Amino acid sequence: MADTLLKGGEYLIADSQSEDVFTPEDFSDEQRQFGDTTEQFVTNELVPRIEEIDNQNFDIVVEGMRKCGELGLLMMDAPEEYGGLDLDKASSMLVAERIAISGSFSVAYSAHTGIGTLPLIYYGTHEQKQKYLEKLITGEWCSAYCLTEPGSGSDALGAQASAILSEDGSHYVLNGTKQYITNGGFAQLFTVFAKIDKEHFTAFLIERDFEGLSVGPEEKKMGIKGSSTTPVILDNCKVPVENVLGEIGKGHKIAFNVLNVGRFKLGAAVTGAAKAALETGIKYGNERVQFKKKISSFGAIKEKIADLTADIFAAESLIYRLAGLLDDKLATIEKGIDDYYVQYQKGIEDYAAECGISKVFCSEVLARTVDEVVQIHGGYGFVSDYPAERYYRDERINRIFEGTNEINRLLIPGMILRKAMKGELPLQAEAMKAFESLMTPSFEELDDSLPFAAEKALITNLKTLFLILAGTGVQKFMDKIADEQEILMAAADIAIQIFALESAVLRGEKVLPSYSERRQELLKATIRIFAFRASETAGSAARKGAFYIEEGDTLTMILSGVRRFSKYDATGLLAAKRLVADAASEDEKYIFC
């Protein structure tokens, strides 16, 4: 456990220590075994059947889920009392990452183990867990989560599905349609949200065979074709009162809290997919010859490989740093207490902003990766005979799943600012200091003898930049800042880059002494590549935000601060990219596995 546990959002105003950060290099033998078991299962039993799965042979998916149950891959988050393993988040994320190479199957797996099962674990009664949980964690049953409707997506509370208590008080009668339900074609248990008396938003556990529930036809999708996505129709569906999940009228807690874990787990899954896609691109680059040379030897291709390697390193660092934060936080909660899962959910909710960051950053890393892998393949990347085409189609949904990236970008600064307004984060005082620094010249000299000194200075400066932008925005718009979506999204982009860069640097600082000389050079080069990208991205977002908020002399002063605080000396960047690209091409994979 970390000696000093930062609260959610506190990374923006406090320094983290590398020894407190969990990294992939910290995995125990047991955790690595789970990862290896998952990878072997996927490689041997699912990857060879990806085409069949994409042709919607759901028997393979259901069979695969049962095999996952036998291997213990469905019970990692379930309490031991009900036959689960109750493992840490780092282990759960490692499995999610490794299973991602199974393509559409990973969608079914993630939906089942995440939003499909966690509501029952977190909010179910003892009787509900006894009745259903063993079936779910063994793979006997698959699960689905029914929140979205034809008229309500991100606006979950705008749902129209209704529930009315029967005259004898024995059951509720539900009516409505749920849309885009993952695992809908074969799930046996559905977590369904509806409004009791058209007012009290509530969750229900509904079995497939309950009277009045039917499943519509499979959606014809752009990608993830091998995952089941259907409407679920409730036509006077009778649900026993004992199948109300959680408190009546408190369904929003279930919907939103479970999505925090879903966003985090999606971040891990897409990082695993990015590694697989990059490996495919590198191998093709080594095979394809043009002008009598492997295309992987061309500078234009090398730059792509180097940039993607650095992006994935940052994504991986971010995911496992967050896993460590959550595990440390949850370890402070005494198991067995009556309100254990209430406190558990509060612990996760504290890092809701970071969960949103992981979803946005990692899904966009995958988006860049698959796009560049198609480009490396040229025309062959556009035909289905090569996996690059499937990677490209399958990727697109991840920027929509678990709340669109736009919604998450609004939530990230929104949640941080709400904490500040509640007095949980001293953001206002820090913002005032940051604004004062605009008028204070800086003559700080870097100690080049310390590893990552320039990158650490950049992180500090980007935090100052975020505080200037957020503070100026709040000062101008006050409580109406929530309506200024363009400003919030610009602030989110800075916050995202800070967390990603800091995660990469802290990991680098922690593991550098244990690396060989060659890997040390690769590590330093990779972090330099990503730091340059982060400085450019954050600086661009800050400039845009400044123009959105201010004008005149104040704008001029802030823009001057943007130039100053996003500055990064990336001397040697080209050499760093060539070094990383050559190593990746030689190893034919992501080099930090």
Which domains, and CATH codes, for the chain?
10-141 (1.10.540.10), 145-245 (2.40.110.10), 251-318+341-405 (1.20.140.10), 420-587 (1.20.140.10)
Residue indicated by tokens 């994320």: 93
DSSP 8-state class, residue 41: H
Using the predicted structure, report yes or no on whether residue 301 has a pLDDT greater than 70.
yes
Q: Which of 316, 372, 395, 402 is catalytic?
A: 402
- Give SS3 for 221: coil
Distance between CA 567 and CA 94 in Å, rounded? 35
- The whole-number pLDDT of residue 444 equals 66
Beta carbons of 124 and 133 less than 8 angstroms apart: yes
Confidence of residue 5 (pLDDT cuts 50, 70, 90): confident
Beta carbons of 365 and 267 less than 8 angstroms apart: no
Confidence of residue 447 (pLDDT cuts 50, 70, 90): confident
Across residues 48-60, what is the average pLDDT? Answer: 96
Does the annotation count 402 as an active-site position? Answer: yes
Alpha helices in 381-452 (DSSP H): 387-395, 405-421, 427-437
- The whole-number pLDDT of residue 152 equals 79
Q: What is the pLDDT of residues 234-284, one digit of tens each?
A: 999 999 999 999 999 999 999 888 989 999 999 999 999 999 999 999 999
- The whole-number pLDDT of residue 150 equals 92
Distance between CA 380 and CA 391 in Å, rounded? 13
- The whole-number pLDDT of residue 442 equals 65
* This prediction's pTM: 0.96
Beta carbons of 174 and 234 less than 8 angstroms apart: yes
